[in-house]
Amino acid sequence: MNGNATFRHNNVALLSVNSVLAGEVLSSAEFDERLAPSLKRLHLSKKLLERVSGVAERRWWSAGTSFDDAAITAGKQALDAAGIEPGQIGLLINTSVTRRNLEPSVASKVHHGLGLPSSALNFDIANACLGFVNGMTLAANMIDSGQISYALIVAGEDAQPTQEITFQRLNDPNSTREDYLRQFATLTLGSGAAAAVVGPADRHEGKPRIVGGVSRAGTAHHELCVGGPAGMYTDSKGLLDNGLELVVDAWNEAHAAGWDWTSMDRYVTHQVSKSYTNAIIKAVGLVRDRVPVTFPKWGNVGPASLPMTLWQEAKSLKPGDRVLCMGVGSGLNTAMMELAW
């Protein structure tokens, strides 16, 4: 491989990472009840969803809370935790999959809601579940180049509208077992928000460093998982098989380029399902008890799931720990990013 498959950052620190949990908890058993007519007609087990995915529950926003308002809240909390004023931010990147319109960007509302200065660049990066990691990489590059000093990356996801439509479609008398399996992944989604502040490491001694990482694309498989307001349609086996191949290629590429990720203190992966997590652990030989899982209680929160998991793990990390963030997104794309605590 040539080009920018692997990359290193010189002077970038993760100053904070924060999460906002959606207020309404819904169990997979409740989803099964919503789908009871079709499950009975199609002779499918009510416990199939939780048994196969490992998702016991996920969250929806409480009435009156929107995904972009939650992203604003997460951003405020991240700024406070980092000790950075809104006026110091030179870049805001929103990485949400969820959006209510094609334009303007979600970032424009978040920028306004946070009271960021007119000089702060703001835009969306849309790259499925990999968006947040991509946003951090872009921000780190701009800090290293000297274009900006501080950046804020946010994501806010709302699974409810898509899942409500999916309930209606699967309960249609004409729905099939194939329909259920193709839309199964939609039922594992969850709602939540996350934000992170990054800045120059030489001004923030003792903060975790963003060291660098690797990325790879497998865009021949861009039709394996296609999502939109009307639902998400997935070839689960094709997605898993080809996603694993891409991850292994990226892992090998990184080690050939001088990285050593065989004994990290934590592997923070994008949260999809039980089978996905087990497959990743086996494919590259991760230490299982160093791979935290949050999908059983939060579901797959899209690009917010990785930073939400990192937020949870940050409470137990100590100076000297090494963390590898790992994600795969529809497209297919993968990225791995090392953090040094």
pLDDT at position 4 over 70: no
Residue 262's pLDDT is: 95
pLDDT at position 61 over 70: yes
Kindly state whether residue 234 falls inside one of the protein's structural domains.
yes
Residue 229's pLDDT is: 76
Average model confidence (pLDDT) across the chain: 95
Q: Which one from 50, 129, 325, 338 is the annotated catalytic residue?
A: 129
pTM (predicted TM-score): 0.95
Could you give the CA distance from residue 104 to residue 123 in angstroms, rounded to a whole number? 9
Residue 231's pLDDT is: 80
Express each pLDDT in 254-304 by its tens digit: 999 999 999 999 999 999 999 999 999 999 999 999 999 999 999 999 999
225 is a catalytic site residue = no
Q: Taking residues 37-42, report their average pLDDT.
A: 95
Query: Are 53 and 186 within 8 A, CB to CB?
Result: no
Q: Which residues constitute the domain of residue 317?
A: 5-10+207-340
Residue 5's pLDDT is: 81
Could you give the CA distance from residue 14 to residue 167 in angstroms, rounded to a whole number? 40
What does the block give as tokens for 60?
């929806």
Kindly state whether residue 155 falls inside one of the protein's structural domains.
no
DSSP state of 24: E
CA dihedral 306, 230, 244, 260 (to 10 degrees): -20
Kindly state whether residue 331 falls inside one of the protein's structural domains.
yes
Identify the CATH number of the domain in which residue 321 sits: 3.40.47.10
Could you give the CA distance from residue 322 to residue 330 in angstroms, rounded to a whole number? 27
Q: Which residues contact 52 (CB under 8 A, 6 or more apart)?
A: 184, 273, 274, 275
Residue 3's pLDDT is: 54
Phi, psi of 90 (to 5 degrees): -105, -10
Kindly state whether residue 43 falls inside one of the protein's structural domains.
no
Q: Taking residues 52-72, report their average pLDDT.
A: 97
Give the confidence band of 194 by pLDDT, cuts at 50, 70, 90. very high
Question: Cα–Cα distances in Å, from 82 out to 75, 103, 150, 196, 331?
Answer: 10, 30, 10, 9, 33
Kindly state whether residue 120 falls inside one of the protein's structural domains.
no
What does the block give as tokens for 57?
């529950």
Kindly state whether residue 93 falls inside one of the protein's structural domains.
no
Q: Classify each residue of 205-221 as buried b or exposed e, where b means 16 or more C-beta atoms within 10 Å of its C-beta.
A: eebbbbbbbbbbebeeb
DSSP state of 55: -
Residue 129's pLDDT is: 93
- Reply yes or no: is the peptide bond before residue 104 cis, omega within 30 of 0: yes
DSSP state of 61: P
Express each pLDDT in 302-330 by its tens digit: 999 999 999 999 999 999 999 999 999 99
Give the confidence band of 1 by pLDDT, cuts at 50, 70, 90. very low
Kindly state whether residue 31 falls inside one of the protein's structural domains.
no
Q: Which CB contacts under 8 angstroms, 24+ apart, belong to 36-44?
A: 37/171, 38/170, 38/171, 38/172, 38/175, 38/180, 41/173, 42/175, 42/176, 42/177, 42/180, 44/177, 44/180
Kindly state whether residue 318 falls inside one of the protein's structural domains.
yes
What does the block give as tokens for 330?
């529809």
Q: In total, how many domains does the chain have?
A: 1
Express each pLDDT in 112-164 by its tens digit: 999 999 999 999 999 999 999 999 999 999 999 999 999 999 999 999 999 99
